[in-house]
Amino acid sequence: MKSRSNYWQLLPYLRPHWRLIGRALISTLVFTACWPIMARLSGELLALLVTGDLPALLRQSGLLAAVFLVHKLAQYGQDSQMAKAALAIVFDLRLRVYAHLQSLSLSYFETTKTGDLSYRLTEDIDRIGEIVNKLFHDATPCVLQLIVVFGYMIYLNWQLTLASLVVAPLMGVLIAWFGDRMLRFSRRSQNLVSDLSALLTEVFSGIRLVRAFAAEAYEIERFAQAAEQNRQAKYAAAWLKAVQFPVVGFLQLLSVLLLLLLGGWQISTGNLTGQQFGSFVIAALMLIDPISHLTDNYNEFKQAQASVDRIFELMQIQPAVLESATAQLLPPVTGKVELESVSFSYQLDQPVLRQLSLRVYPGEAVALVGASGAGKTTLVNLLPRFYDPQMGRVLIDGIDIRSVTLASLRRQIGIVPQETVLFSGTIAQNIAFGQPEFDLAAVQSAAEVANAHQFISQFSQGYQTWVGERGVNLSGGQRQRIAIARAILLDPRILILDEATSALDSESEALVQEALERLMQNRTVLIIAHRLATVRRADRILVMEQGQIVESGNHADLIKQADRYARFYAQQFQ
């Protein structure tokens, strides 16, 4: 298991907020400087209580109250400034991690649990923010308090101070031992919580399937097992802390008892006055709280180290599809698409496309048909560079797409998928997806072309109707027409239709098909469909098999050939 900490990688996130941190540290220095002053004033106050000198007692009490007020004001400055800095650091880190995730390739998300990513972006980063805040507003003052108060104790009586530290080495060894085990337990606990979050995301996303298969009891059992593993891991960490505090507390008690015995001996020999011993005891008592805090902080630092490691482990992942440092903007294209001897595989020993070459002319509609696994979806996924081929080139208007920026490439390619993805927001926002500011009239015009305006107008709030998570408030046909309106508004030169009507009833399919035909006008179109009725009007139909094109022609020509396409067609319309 990795033991080296990634805490040092947080430094770049601290630097932009050095002014806030600096003000907090100045407050911390004032806060710390008050401790020995209060210890001395308290000792003198105890001596005045014995003498009964009321005027002097009042003056001393007022002076102590003034120092205490400064002490607390400095504590406020320290805590408020560091809380502000910690929240700013968390914001920067969360934004940086999210932006990094957006840069990763599609292949990463296909093999990563969504719940795990959500946990890292929320809980893990929040834990880092808490520990940064605690480092400056709790741990740093405690360390300074120990140094200052310990120095004052040495000033009062160095022999007594050194003798009172007899158990300190043992205490340090025990704290380090507990901290290492706390890190181990925390890593396991956070991984299990992440798995639990992934399980919940998976189940709630597929809740219809759970209901359809009456699998509620099965899912409850799966959840119970994952939750039990998480409970055991968290209890192991809690048990360790429960053992640690009595052990450290007992050692602190031994130190105090030893201090009292040695102090009495020093007074009896004349090396220490009663007033000095009173100040010394108060100073020693001032050490108990920071030691307890540092013990607790050390455990929390070890627990948070697991979160830091998980975040920077994520940041070290590199995208499989990289944009060239010299990438240029792709100019407006006519829509000519070429694949030159393209080979691609998700796994090295399992090729999906084999030396495939293809040329699609501007304004041509080309349909890809074939059995599942033939490589149709993989082929179209190469155009927007969701993946890069291991061999060969993909060109648009004669330009190698690896030489242009990803954004300029993808803005000229529209995709209408089989399963439409809608986000929480209004219908208008979903049609204008990716555009923070948009023209509502243009959105409405796109919806009219997509046969969506009529059903949108029937909602009481029209285009401002809230869609709901994953578009649950809309039917399949309605969601698909919004997806078509989204593509129309983008106005791409190249269009990919991926099983766009396969999951619709006949009425919805007719409306969607009509909208698609309007969308396809004057564009280069690649159509994937298992239902051959949707591809008959394509200019060219390509039959794919094992990553290669084995037949090419229009519907009538391929039927005459009486080969693969003709058999597919006969099976569907027999």
Q: What CATH code is carried by the domain that includes residue 462?
A: 3.40.50.300
Quote the domain boundaries for residue 557: 331-412+494-508+523-574
Residue 326 lies in a domain: no
Query: What does each C-alpha distance from 326 to 323, 343, 398, 402, 411 come to in angstroms?
Result: 8, 25, 18, 10, 19
d(CA 263, CA 157): 10
Q: In the predicted model, what is the mean pLDDT of residues 128-149?
A: 80
d(CA 556, CA 566): 10
The pLDDT, as a whole number, for residue 435 is 81
Residue 349 lies in a domain: yes
pLDDT at 497 over 70: yes
Residue 4 lies in a domain: no
pLDDT at 3 over 50: no
Own/partner pairs for 503-510, CB < 8 Å, 24+ apart? 503/418, 503/419, 503/476, 504/476, 504/477, 504/480, 505/477, 507/477, 508/475, 508/476, 508/477, 508/480, 509/477
The pLDDT, as a whole number, for residue 402 is 94
Residue 213 lies in a domain: yes
Count, residues in the chain: 574
Look-up of token digits 């999210």 = 98
Same domain, 189 and 336: no
User: Which domain-ending residue is among 287, 315, 343?
Assistant: 315
Same domain, 339 and 442: no
The pLDDT, as a whole number, for residue 167 is 55
User: Which residues lie closer than 8 Å to 142 by C-beta, 6 or more apart?
Assistant: 289, 290, 291, 293, 294, 297
Dump the DSSP string for 124-154.
Answer: IHHHHHHHHHHIIIIIHHHHHHHHHHHHHHH
Residue 1 lies in a domain: no
Q: What is the mean pLDDT of the chain?
A: 81
Phi, psi angle pair for 332, to nearest 5°:
-55, 130
Residue 153 lies in a domain: yes
Q: How many CA atoms lie within 13 A of 125 on its CB side?
A: 24
Take residue 277 and report the two structure tokens written for it: 């011993």
Same domain, 148 and 196: yes
Q: Are 368 and 525 in contact (CB under 8 A)?
A: no
pLDDT category at 395 given cuts 50, 70, 90 is: very high
User: Which domain-ending residue is among 288, 315, 342?
Assistant: 315
d(CA 489, CA 433): 9
User: Which domain-ending residue is among 254, 287, 315?
Assistant: 315
- Residue, of 241 and 40, whose pLDDT is higher: 40
pLDDT at 415 over 50: yes
Range in 245-259, 460-474, 517-531 with the lowest mean pLDDT: 245-259
Q: Are 566 and 532 in contact (CB under 8 A)?
A: no
Same domain, 56 and 134: yes
Phi, psi angle pair for 317, to nearest 5°:
-75, 130
User: Which residues lie closer than 8 Å to 561 by C-beta, 6 or more apart?
Assistant: 551, 553
Phi, psi angle pair for 497, to nearest 5°:
-110, 110
d(CA 93, CA 128): 9
CA triple 510-516-522, angle to 5 deg: 145
Q: Are 424 and 400 in contact (CB under 8 A)?
A: no
- Residue, of 4 and 280, whose pLDDT is higher: 280
d(CA 93, CA 89): 6
Query: If you ran DSSP here, which 8-state letter would residue 574 be given?
Result: -
Query: If you ran DSSP here, which 8-state letter would residue 466 be given?
Result: B
Query: If you ran DSSP here, which 8-state letter would residue 437 be given?
Result: S
Same domain, 370 and 429: no
Q: Are 48 and 60 in contact (CB under 8 A)?
A: yes
pLDDT at 504 over 60: no
- Of the candidates 344, 268, 527, which has an alpha carbon nearest to the alpha carbon of residue 418? 527
pLDDT at 75 over 90: no
Q: Are 516 and 480 in contact (CB under 8 A)?
A: no
> Which residue stretches of 206-346 are H helix?
207-212, 216-268, 274-315
Phi, psi angle pair for 22, to nearest 5°:
-65, -45
Residue 324 lies in a domain: no
Same domain, 203 and 65: yes
Phi, psi angle pair for 361, to nearest 5°:
-90, 155
Q: How many domains does the chain have?
A: 3
d(CA 227, CA 573): 51
* Torsion over CA: 73, 75, 78, 84 (sign): negative
Same domain, 185 and 280: yes
- Of the candidates 456, 527, 531, 522, which has an alpha carbon nearest to the alpha carbon of residue 486? 456
Same domain, 403 and 547: yes
Range in 111-120, 160-169, 317-326 with the lowest mean pLDDT: 160-169
**pTM exceeds 0.75, yes or no:** no
Residue 514 lies in a domain: no
CATH of the domain at 116: 1.20.1560.10
d(CA 31, CA 465): 55
Same domain, 202 and 298: yes
Helices 274-315 and 168-205 meet at what angle, rounded to 10?
Answer: 40
Same domain, 43 and 117: yes
Tell me, what amino acid is at 508?
S
pLDDT category at 2 given cuts 50, 70, 90 is: very low
pLDDT at 23 over 80: yes
Same domain, 113 and 94: yes
pLDDT category at 522 given cuts 50, 70, 90 is: confident
Tell me, what amino acid is at 458?
Q
Take residue 455 and report the two structure tokens written for it: 């059903």
Tens-place pLDDT, residues 343-353 = 999 887 788 99
Same domain, 41 and 160: yes
User: Residue 548 forms beta bridges with which residues?
Assistant: 545
Query: If you ran DSSP here, which 8-state letter would residue 121 be given?
Result: I
d(CA 378, CA 548): 12
